[in-house]
């Protein structure tokens, strides 16, 4: 595992706080704010890339990421970008998230954070999936990899794939929730139904409406993503974890 240093922790914390603000600001604005969500994606994108770069530079400057680790990041990002079109999100079948979890598990939370963001960015360039949704996908996928790196290290043997598959399924549902949150306040018409966002309402009330919207619209896709990710982890983790750990050991990433 590539251990996090103090500077890396600070950069990750800043990036995560910014990411939460980018997703959740509609829940705390006043009705009179008049803010338009559709115009903020370029700013999210423009601000997020320097934050991700800050994580990488913090790791490099403190010795966490050397040239071999950066090369491994490139290889895994390319692999994730290559396998993503195999699922294309049809009926919720997503074939990229399992690799983010396995990479984050072996190389740690900082590596997993950057891997999630770079994989989604690279795959979007390859598939023509660049749009206002991309920065939010990158942030959510970055947390996907970050969380995998924070899972208990002592869990090994047959319990490890089960733990990773369970985490993958739960994280897949949370990913869907976050992506709904990125457009839901502005895609249903304010107050037009019981599932619509209401600016200025209590946060809990809007979250209940968001969950109802998710259950009514995207749960089939989200459940498909959770199922696909969990199954792929159970099927491939034994081999991929062994290969990645062997590479980490030979490259002396582990400390």
Question: What is the pLDDT tens value at each position of the chain, 255 positions in all?
Answer: 666 677 778 778 877 887 788 788 777 776 655 554 545 555 665 666 666 666 666 665 555 566 777 788 889 988 888 888 776 656 667 888 999 999 999 988 888 888 998 898 888 888 767 777 788 888 899 999 999 999 998 888 889 999 999 999 999 999 999 988 888 877 655 555 678 888 778 888 888 988 998 898 888 889 989 999 999 999 999 999 999 988 887 766 554
Helix (H) or strand (E) holding 24: helix 6-24
Tokens of 41: 């994606």
CB-based burial of residue 98 (10 Å sphere; 0-12 exposed, 13-18 middle, 19+ buried)? buried
The pLDDT assigned to 62 comes to 57
Which of 81, 76, 82, 112 has its CA nearest to residue 3? Answer: 112
- This model's pTM is above 0.75: yes
CB-CB contact of 222 with 237 (8 Å): no
CB-CB contact of 110 with 69 (8 Å): no
């Amino acid at each position: 595992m590539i251990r996090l240093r103090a500077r890396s922790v600070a950069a990750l914390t800043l990036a995560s706080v910014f990411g939460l603000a980018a997703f959740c600001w509609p829940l705390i604005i006043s009705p009179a704010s008049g803010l338009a969500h559709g115009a903020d994606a370029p700013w999210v994108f423009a601000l997020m890339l320097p934050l991700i770069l800050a994580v990488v530079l913090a790791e490099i400057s403190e010795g966490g990421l050397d040239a071999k680790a950066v090369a491994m990041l490139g290889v895994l990002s390319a692999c994730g970008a290559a396998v993503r079109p195999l699922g294309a999100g049809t009926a919720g079948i997503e074939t990229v998230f399992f690799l983010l979890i396995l990479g984050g598990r072996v190389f740690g939370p900082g590596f997993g954070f950057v891997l999630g963001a770079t994989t989604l960015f690279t795959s979007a360039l390859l598939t023509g999936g660049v749009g206002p949704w991309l920065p939010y996908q990158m942030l959510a996928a970055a947390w996907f990899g970050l969380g995998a790196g924070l899972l208990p290290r002592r869990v090994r043997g047959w319990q490890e794939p089960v733990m990773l598959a369970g985490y993958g399924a739960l994280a897949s549902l949370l990913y869907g929730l976050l992506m709904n949150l990125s457009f839901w306040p502005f895609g249903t018409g304010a107050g037009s139904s019981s599932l619509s966002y209401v600016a200025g309402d209590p946060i809990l009330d809007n979250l209940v409406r968001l969950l109802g919207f998710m259950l009514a619209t995207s749960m089939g896709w989200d459940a498909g993503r959770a199922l696909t990710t969990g199954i792929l982890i159970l099927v491939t983790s034994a081999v991929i974890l062994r290969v990645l750990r062997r590479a980490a050991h030979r490259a002396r990433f582990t400390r």
